[in-house]
Structure 1
């Protein structure tokens, strides 16, 4: 009987970390990737608050994940200046889970925010026209959009007012809990960013 093929990264910390970042990078580019829609948790008051967000950009060298956000949402007030953030990703085909923790910041007038706005689709920009603000109580179900705006692709000039509501959420990752589920035996590792050595300290954990 043939034995299942053992992944090259299974017993190698450097390769495991590299595999994780490569899956995240793919997730930012491929909407069909399981790493495209991630669970993002912030602290709201004394309680954790989670939501699904679309991963838009990944920079492994700077340890950065970038998401787009409406500036009127609760997570923006949760984050304010350099507040903790946790991001959860799971790839059911690869059987890889990543829990990424770090500090988050919000940008709305930066060059990076302007670039992100320019890269957004017209449909994506339309979301930031919602009135009242996301999370506002309403008396009946609504998208928040003007009915004339629903069901069609907006023109560029129509979404210009939405720019003031648009921002980016930058997560600077400093800790990664990496889990691989394998028939040959699970593997789990931890990676912590060392600001002095400018590299990851890593080690194996019991799954």
Structure 2
């Protein structure tokens, strides 16, 4: 393999994996990061792929968990169920890195993690869960689903409180990470798989 003599992570698997997690953590913390809104793909009951942009809310490298907020009534909740496989895709143009991740997902609508996520959400974010009817429902005219009293204004805590019943978190336990560096001077591609028995990540170089 021809070495690209630049950033050390381009020729070091452990550093490439480290960079991937750093980009993910930054994506959760910085709403301006391109990785703040990755594509999340599930499989419908009919066996077809279903994709959507979601906001990455939290990253825990130790537990390999990514967190997203979601409406409990959304189609993705039924598609995920408990323990279904999901895939994520994001690209960071400044870092020149594409990340493809896959793992097992679950939805939690109750418990301390879901409660904490609800409390961390802004009032505008909480307002989203007041939409009626449920997201994805057919309607006769364009609509936000929000009542006129709260549409276009910052709601009060009392106004959004009932939205908690529709709020849930989507947790993804990452099992594979594919890291792709794109540049004219030479691409790099690696895949990492979590070895549960050995409790460690194992990586391999791939041809870009």
> TM-score w.r.t. structure 1 length?
0.97
CA displacement at 1:184 relative to structure 2: 2.1
Over residues 90-124 of structure 1, what are the superposed CA-to-partner deviations in whole Å (9 max), with x where a residue is unaligned? 00111100100000000011110000000000000
1:198 aligns with 2:199: yes
Deviation at 1:78, TM superposition (A): 0.2
Secondary structure of 1:83's counterpart equals strand
**1:183 positional shift:** 2.6
Q: Distance in 1 between matches of 2:184 and 2:52?
A: 31
CA distance in 2, matches of 1:109, 1:37: 24
Which residue number in structure 2 is paired with residue 124 of structure 1?
A: 125
SS of alignment partner, residue 144 of structure 1 = coil
1:5–1:149 distance in 2 versus 1, CA, 3 Å:
farther
Q: How do residues 145-164 of structure 1 correspond to structure 2 at under 5 angstroms?
A: 145-164=146-165
- For these two proteins, the number of residue pairs brought into alignment is 204
Q: Which residue of 1 aligns with 2:99?
A: 98
Residue 182 of structure 1 deviates from its aligned partner by 2.1
- The aligned runs of 1:9-158 (5 Å cut-off) are 9-45=9-45, 46-158=47-159
Name stretches of at least 5 consecutive residues in structure 2 with no aligned partner: none
For residue 67 of structure 1, give the secondary structure of its aligned residue in structure 2.
Answer: strand
- Cα-to-partner distance string for 1:122-169 (whole Å, 9 max, x where unaligned): 000000000000000000000000011111100001100000000000
C-alpha distance in structure 2 between counterparts of 1:65 and 1:182, whole Å:
28
Query: How far apart in 2 are the matches of 1:5 and 1:137?
Result: 55
| SS class of match (2:202) | strand
Residue of structure 1 in register with 2:189 after alignment? 188
CA distance in 2, matches of 1:174, 1:126: 33
TM-score, normalized by length of structure 2? Answer: 0.96
Counterpart-to-counterpart distance in 2, 1:119 and 1:128: 14
Q: Any idea what the Cα deviations from partners look like across 1:54-92, whole Å, max 9, x if unmatched?
A: 000000111110000000000000011100000101001
Q: Which region of structure 1 is more displaced relative to structure 2, 188-197 or 176-185?
A: 176-185
Structure 1 runs not aligned, ≥5 long: none
